[in-house]
C-alpha cells in the first residue's frame, strides 16, 4: 500500500531490482552467443534486455555505448568497422575481437613501434677508396660464401646471382656483405640493368629504407672453376681469381670500364648491405608461408606507410620502382623500418616521370606489396612472385579487380576502399595514399602490450 501512495519509492525499487540483474545481463554481453543460438537472435534478445534495463535505471555512458554497439551489429555493421569507431567497447564485448584471432605474429622490435623511423645519419660505409686490384679467395680481399638467392625458388633473379661475401675493409678486418654478380650467360640482357641499378642506388643513397651500395667491382675466376648451380644451395667459397674494386667515388669510372673488361672474361659485381632472409616480409605476411597467421593490422599499416615513404622519395627523383613483389621487402629490426632491395628493373626518367608512370607504379605497389601485406596474398592476376624481366613488368595490368575472402573480414571497410582505389587508378600521388593510411593507423589504439625483445 505504501508503494501505491509513493510512486517515487516504487520507481526506486524497480531500479534497484534492475541493477541487481545488470551483472547477469553484462555476463551475457561479455560471453556472446552460445553455440546453439543464432547470432542475430542473440543480438536482438540481449539488446532488448539492455533497453529494458535503461528504461528502468536511466541513461548511462557505459550502457548507451553497449546498446549502440549491439544495434550497429544487428543492422549489419562489421566488427572491424565498429571497433574503429568505438575501440573502448572491446572491454565490454571482447568477442568482437574474434575476427582478429589469427593476428598473432609480430614484427621484431626493441621498443614500441611507430610510423616514423628511428632518426639515423645516412649510411656511408667505406670499404675501399679509389680503384684497387686484388684477389678473390680464402684470406683474400673477397671471399665468397653461401648463396643468398636459393632460400626460396622464387628468390632467384633473372640477371644476377647473389652470394654472401667477406670483404676486407680499410681497418684490415673483414665484414659480411651481399654480392650481386652478373650472370655470365646473360650479359647482353643484364648489363643495362646493372648500369641502371648503380645509377639509381647512387641517387637514393640518402633515402632511409634503400639498401646501400657499398662498392662496385669486377671479378674473374680461375679457369676450371664454376659458380654453384642455383638448383643447389652449395657455397661459392671454393672460387678463386682476380678482383678489381671500385670505391663509391669511382662510380662513373666503373660504368665506362665495364664493357672493356667484359670482353676479357670479367664479371661485374655490386656489394650491398646484407639483409637476412628471416626478416623478409614474406615470412611475416604471406599466408601460405605463415600457415594463415597474420600481423596485427596496426603493424601491417605501418609497413605500408613506410614503403610509401620510400616510393615517394623515388618518385620525387623521377624513379619508378615497379618490381614490387614482397620478396623485395625486408624488416630491419635495428632501425624499426622497412628496407627494399633490387632496383635493377626500376625506371629512371631524367626529364620527369609522367602521371601515367607514377600511377602504374602505384597500382603495382598495391597489387603485389600492399595487398600481400594486408591479406596474405598478392592480388589475383598480378605478376608471379618469381623473377620478372622488364618486359613482364611493362606488360602488367594497370587495373585489378579485388576479390575479398573470409580471411579479409579483419580489414575495415575504410581500408578496403583505400586498396580498391589504389588498384583502380584512384590515386595519382603516393603521398595521398600515405595520408589516408596514416589517418586509419591513428584510429587504432595500441592496446596490446608491446614485446620487449622478440
- The per-residue pLDDT for range 244-271, each reduced to its tens digit, is 999 999 999 999 999 999 999 999 999 9
Q: Which of the pair, 382 or 80, is modelled with greater confidence?
A: 382
Is 60 exceeded by the pLDDT of residue 164? yes
Is 90 exceeded by the pLDDT of residue 307? yes
Handedness of CA 135, 138, 140, 144 (dihedral sign): positive
Mean pLDDT along residues 366-378: 96
Closest CA to 95 of 29, 161, 153: 29
Mean residue pLDDT across the chain: 89
Confidence of residue 451 (pLDDT cuts 50, 70, 90): very low
Question: CATH number for the 131-272 domain, one of 1.20.120.1200, 3.90.79.10, 3.30.200.20, 1.20.1260.10?
Answer: 3.30.200.20
Mean pLDDT along residues 339-344: 95
Contacts 24+ apart (CB under 8 A), 444-451: 444/84, 444/87, 444/297, 444/298, 444/301, 445/87, 446/112, 446/298, 447/87, 447/90, 448/296, 450/109, 450/111, 450/112, 450/113, 451/106, 451/109
Mean pLDDT along residues 306-312: 97
CATH code: domain 278-441 is 1.10.510.10
Q: Which of the pair, 10 or 100, is modelled with greater confidence?
A: 100
Contacts with 208 (C-beta within 8 Å, 6 or more apart), sequence order: 117, 120, 309, 310, 335, 337
What is the distance between the alpha carbons of residues 30 and 230, in angstroms, rounded to a whole number? Answer: 56
The pLDDT tens digits for 386-427 are 888 999 999 999 999 999 988 888 899 999 999 999 999 999
Q: What percent of the chain has pLDDT over 90?
A: 63
Mean pLDDT along residues 329-336: 93
Looking at residue 124, its pLDDT comes to: 65
Looking at residue 14, its pLDDT comes to: 61
Looking at residue 450, its pLDDT comes to: 42
| Pairing mode, strands 160-168 and 347-348 | unpaired
Contacts with 216 (C-beta within 8 Å, 6 or more apart), sequence order: 198, 246, 248, 250, 251, 254, 268, 269, 270, 271
Looking at residue 449, its pLDDT comes to: 39
Looking at residue 454, its pLDDT comes to: 32
Q: Which of the pair, 293 or 232, is modelled with greater confidence?
A: 293
Instruction: Kindly state the helix (H) or strand (E) to which residue 136 belongs, with its residue range.
Output: strand 131-136
Is 90 exceeded by the pLDDT of residue 447? no
Mean pLDDT along residues 8-19: 61
Mean pLDDT along residues 175-185: 94
Looking at residue 421, its pLDDT comes to: 97
The pLDDT tens digits for 277-300 are 999 999 999 999 999 899 999 999
Looking at residue 452, its pLDDT comes to: 36
Looking at residue 324, its pLDDT comes to: 96
Looking at residue 2, its pLDDT comes to: 52
Where do runs of H (alpha helix) occur along 207-277? 251-262
Looking at residue 118, its pLDDT comes to: 76
Confidence of residue 446 (pLDDT cuts 50, 70, 90): low
Range of weakest confidence among 6-15, 144-153, 218-227: 6-15
Closest CA to 435 of 336, 342, 304: 304
Q: Cα-flanking dihedrals φ and ψ of residue 267, to 5°?
A: -120, 130
Looking at residue 59, its pLDDT comes to: 82
Query: What radius of gyration do the chain's Cα atoms show?
Result: 29
Listed by start position, the domains of the chain span 2-100, 131-272, 278-441
Confidence of residue 122 (pLDDT cuts 50, 70, 90): low
Confidence of residue 40 (pLDDT cuts 50, 70, 90): confident
Range of weakest confidence among 47-56, 303-312, 335-344: 47-56
Looking at residue 96, its pLDDT comes to: 84
Confidence of residue 193 (pLDDT cuts 50, 70, 90): very high
Spatial contact of 145 and 154, defined as CB atoms under 8 Å apart: no
Looking at residue 73, its pLDDT comes to: 87
Is 70 exceeded by the pLDDT of residue 120? no
Amino acid at each position: 500500500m505504501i508503494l501505491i501512495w509513493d510512486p517515487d519509492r516504487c520507481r526506486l525499487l524497480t531500479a534497484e531490482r534492475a541493477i541487481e540483474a545488470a551483472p547477469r545481463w553484462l555476463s551475457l554481453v561479455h560471453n556472446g552467443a552460445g553455440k546453439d543460438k543464432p547470432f542475430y537472435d542473440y543480438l536482438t534478445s540481449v539488446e532488448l534486455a539492455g533497453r529494458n534495463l535503461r528504461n528502468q535505471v536511466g541513461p548511462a555512458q557505459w550502457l548507451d555505448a553497449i546498446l549502440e554497439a549491439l544495434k550497429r551489429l544487428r543492422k549489419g555493421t562489421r566488427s572491424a568497422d565498429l571497433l574503429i569507431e568505438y575501440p573502448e567497447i572491446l572491454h565490454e564485448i571482447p568477442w568482437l575481437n574474434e575476427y582478429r584471432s589469427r593476428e598473432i605474429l609480430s614484427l621484431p622490435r626493441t621498443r614500441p613501434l611507430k610510423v616514423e623511423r628511428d632518426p639515423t645519419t645516412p649510411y656511408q660505409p667505406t670499404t675501399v677508396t679509389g680503384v684497387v686490384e686484388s684477389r678473390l679467395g680464402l684470406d683474400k680481399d673477397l671471399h665468397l660464401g653461401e648463396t643468398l638467392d636459393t632460400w626460396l625458388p622464387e628468390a632467384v633473379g633473372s640477371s644476377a646471382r647473389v652470394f654472401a661475401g667477406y670483404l676486407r675493409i680499410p681497418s684490415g678486418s673483414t665484414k659480411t656483405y651481399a654480392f650481386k654478380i652478373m650472370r655470365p650467360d646473360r650479359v647482353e640482357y643484364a648489363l643495362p640493368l646493372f648500369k641502371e641499378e648503380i645509377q639509381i642506388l647512387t641517387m637514393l643513397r640518402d633515402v632511409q629504407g634503400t639498401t646501400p651500395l657499398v662498392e662496385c667491382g669486377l671479378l674473374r675466376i680461375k679457369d676450371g672453376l664454376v659458380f654453384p648451380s642455383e638448383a643447389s644451395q652449395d657455397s661459392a667459397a671454393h672460387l678463386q681469381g682476380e678482383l678489381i674494386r671500385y670505391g663509391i667515388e669511382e662510380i662513373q669510372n666503373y660504368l665506362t670500364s665495364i664493357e672493356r673488361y667484359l670482353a676479357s672474361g670479367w664479371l661485374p659485381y655490386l656489394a650491398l648491405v646484407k639483409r637476412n632472409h628471416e626478416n623478409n616480409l614474406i615470412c611475416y605476411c604471406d599466408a601460405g608461408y605463415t600457415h594463415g597467421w597474420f600481423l596485427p593490422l596496426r603493424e601491417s599499416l605501418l609497413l605500408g606507410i613506410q614503403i610509401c615513404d620510400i616510393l615517394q622519395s623515388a618518385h620525387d627523383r623521377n624513379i619508378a620502382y615497379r618490381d614490387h613483389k614482397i620478396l623485395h621487402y625486408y624488416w630491419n629490426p635495428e632501425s624499426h623500418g622497412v628496407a627494399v632491395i633490387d632496383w635493377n628493373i626500376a625506371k629512371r626518367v631524367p626529364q620527369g616521370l609522367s602521371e601515367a608512370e607514377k600511377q602504374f607504379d602505384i597500382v603495382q605497389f598495391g597489387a603485389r606489396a600492399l595487398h600481400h601485406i594486408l591479406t596474405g596474398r598478392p592480388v589475383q592476376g598480378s605478376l608471379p612472385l618469381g623473377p620478372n624481366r622488364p618486359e613482364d613488368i611493362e606488360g602488367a595490368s594497370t587495373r585489378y579487380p579485388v576479390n575479398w575472402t573470409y580471411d579479409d573480414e579483419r580489414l575495415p571497410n575504410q581500408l578496403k576502399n583505400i586498396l580498391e582505389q589504389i588498384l583502380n587508378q584512384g590515386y595519382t600521388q603516393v603521398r595521398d595514399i600515405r595520408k589516408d593510411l596514416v589517418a586509419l593507423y591513428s584510429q587504432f589504439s595500441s592496446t596490446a602490450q608491446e614485446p620487449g625483445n622478440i
